[in-house]
Amino acid sequence: MDLLSDLLREFASAVLYGGLGLLLLTAGYFMLDVMIPGRIGELLIVQRSRNVGLVVAAGLLSIGIVVGTALWSAEGDLSEGLAAAAGYGVLGILLLAATFRVVDLKTPGRLGEIIRDDHDHPVAWVLASALLAAGIVQAAAIS
């Protein structure tokens, strides 16, 4: 019975941590949807915007890196680990928004409008790199 209860407890922990990760990724996606004018889904599916796809992919990878590191380094009991991972995840999302904003401030014009353009734009690569770098830096700060 002890083995079964341990397995169930570990399974429940995995479900809760995985659910938290999915929730944070979803929150990050919605944050990017706010930062980029228009609906991301339409920009990706209907307009097939490669710039937006690159930026959203980098943003989600960045959040995944932060949340994954937070989950990996979670200590204490389940509630403490979930709380720490949630806090770091929210911090990662805020850092992502701040990174977007900093690049926007240093870019002539409105960055959100520029990356919506039909033509490939180098600033999309710069923004994607900045988002990934911010996620890696945040992950390093967690560990």
Q: pTM of the full predicted structure? A: 0.86
pLDDT tens digits for range 4-26: 888 888 898 889 999 999 999 99
Output the six-digit token pair for 103. 């690049």
Residues 87 and 95 sit within 8 Å (Cβ to Cβ) = no
Range of the domain at 91: 2-142
Looking at the structure of the chain, the number of domains it has is 1
pLDDT at residue 38 is higher than 70: yes
Instruction: Count the Cβ atoms, other than its own, within 10 Å of residue 77.
Output: 10
pLDDT per position as a tens digit, 109-135: 888 888 888 788 999 999 999 999 999
